[in-house]
């Protein structure tokens, strides 16, 4: 068994990375004097992974959208009982989530993490699907999909993604569509489970009041070794341009909602993390609540305090988003484009850059004092082929010149989509 200690002198922290004989990567961060424990058991399998192959497949296999999310729902049921009732006996709080590129099962507790960890490792490795239970779940997930179809905040975001992306499956709702989930059966669920829930494609991350040797002992007891089938996932070729410049929908809202997405090329690994961090700093310089642009738009009544920005990125996608409420979303768009073009000529203010950089660095340091943040950081990092300390190292080294280069590479003012949700008249 390969057990490494990963240290960082800059912050004086360390964690353990264990390549377990089963194929699982185990990450343990012992946090002395903390009373809580947070654990995540996750697979690199999200809603976008609908086309894949392994050593056993002659060619790529395509499956309906929404299977990753469907699987997450079904794994909480086993032949004997509901998993939540098992956690109730240990006093742990449990949950799960499916995103575009990962599925994670998690628990938090203050006592008895060993038994909760056994429950987590046990049920995720024990799928139980029947024709009857799968059909029952179709109705439940179908209701969930229809509910989100009427949610203005959900629709403004996904309408934007459908405007930005021609082919990438990120444009499809994580839960799929009513039509796509109708094609899901027990055989398909087992096929996707056996492909993506292979321990060589999975990670266990646990932080807090834990002992690394005890965690390894439980892993030795609970994990079933898996053969590595060399899983590959692919996407349809995606043009660099946006699919559609504007999307508009009418729903029950008092004030129009908008999302403006600037499409850019995605990168992987440390280069992708650097792009994320630098673009976040660019967005803060352009439009946080201390920026000239924010003040100008706020004073003109174009935006309110709901205005914000985010970087949306992952495997094969990268988008910088401005969103909020406005009675004139297209004027907001014009102001944002004008500010981007102005800064490309005049540059950012160096003093503001230093303030924002220090604030970003400080927020990362604070995260090391939170058990849930640490466990989540570890699993997210390893799923992205980086390590948890890469973020603070990148932030520490960023220069204003890096930020100006990123502005030019990520913000093409000809390559955007604006999504608007207008009130029903």
Dist. CA 324–CA 394, nearest whole Å: 30
The answer to whether 272 and 390 are in contact (CB under 8 A) is no
Q: How are beta strands 246-251 and 416-423 bridged, if at all?
A: parallel
Is 414 annotated in the active site? no
The answer to whether 125 and 224 are in contact (CB under 8 A) is yes
The answer to whether 176 and 65 are in contact (CB under 8 A) is yes
Closest to 210 measured CA to CA, from 13, 3, 31, 24: 31
CB-count burial class (<10 Å; 0-12, 13-18, 19+) for 123 = buried
Q: Which two tokens stand for residue 371?
A: 């058990």
Q: What is the largest CA-CA distance in the chain?
A: 66
Q: Where are the beta strands (DSSP E) in 86-170?
A: 93-98, 103-109
From residue 43, how far is each of 83, 110, 203, 320, 422 by CA, in Å?
19, 25, 6, 26, 38
Which of 13, 65, 72, 278 does the annotation list as catalytic?
72
Q: For residue 91, give the 3-state DSSP assignment.
A: coil
Tokens 């959900």, located at residue: 154
Q: For residue 294, give the 3-state DSSP assignment.
A: helix
Closest to 247 measured CA to CA, from 266, 262, 260, 236: 260
Percent helix / strand / coil, the chain, rounded to 5: 45, 20, 35
**Residue numbers annotated as active site:** 72
């Amino acid at each position: 068994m390969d057990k490494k200690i990963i240290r960082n002198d800059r912050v004086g922290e360390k964690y353990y990375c264990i390549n377990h004989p089963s194929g699982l990567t185990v990450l343990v961060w012992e946090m002395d004097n903390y009373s809580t424990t947070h654990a995540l058991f996750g697979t690199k399998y999200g809603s976008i992974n609908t086309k894949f192959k392994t050593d056993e497949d002659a060619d790529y296999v395509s499956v309906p959208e929404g299977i990753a999310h469907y699987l997450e729902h079904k794994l909480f049921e086993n032949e004997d009982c509901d998993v939540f009732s098992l956690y109730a006996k240990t006093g742990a709080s449990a949950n799960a989530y499916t995103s575009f590129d990962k599925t994670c099962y998690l628990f938090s507790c203050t006592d008895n993490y060993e038994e909760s960890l056994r429950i987590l490792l046990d049920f995720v490795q024990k799928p139980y699907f029947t024709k009857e239970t799968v059909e029952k779940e179709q109705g439940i997930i179908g209701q969930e999909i229809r509910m989100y179809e009427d949610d203005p905040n959900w629709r403004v975001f996904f309408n934007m993604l459908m405007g930005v992306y021609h082919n990438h499956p990120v444009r499809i709702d994580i839960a799929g569509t009513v039509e796509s989930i109708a094609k899901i059966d027990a055989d398909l669920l087992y096929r996707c489970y056996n492909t993506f829930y292979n321990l060589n494609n999975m990670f266990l991350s646990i932080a807090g009041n834990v002992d690394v040797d005890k965690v390894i002992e439980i892993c030795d007891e609970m994990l079933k070794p898996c053969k590595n089938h060399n899983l590959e996932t692919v996407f349809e070729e995606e043009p660099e341009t946006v699919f559609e410049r504007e999307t508009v929908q009418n729903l029950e809202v008092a004030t129009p909602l908008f999302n403006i997405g600037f499409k850019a090329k995605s990168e992987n690994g440390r280069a992708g993390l650097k792009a994320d961090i630098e673009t976040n700093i660019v967005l803060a310089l352009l439009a946080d609540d201390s920026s000239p642009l924010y003040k100008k738009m706020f004073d003109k009544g174009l935006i309110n305090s709901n205005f914000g920005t985010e970087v949306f990125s992952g495997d094969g996608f990268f988008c910088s988003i401005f969103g909020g409420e406005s009675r004139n979303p297209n004027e907001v768009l014009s102001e944002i484009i004008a500010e981007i073009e102005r800064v490309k000529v005049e540059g950012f203010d160096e003093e503001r850059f230093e303030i924002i950089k220090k604030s970003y660095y400080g927020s990362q340091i604070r995260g090391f004092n939170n058990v849930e943040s640490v466990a989540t950081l570890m699993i997210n990092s390893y799923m992205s082929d980086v390590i948890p300390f890469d973020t603070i190292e990148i932030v520490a080294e960023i220069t204003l010149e890096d930020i100006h280069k990123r502005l030019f590479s990520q913000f093409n003012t000809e390559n955007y989509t604006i999504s608007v949700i207008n009130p029903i008249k």
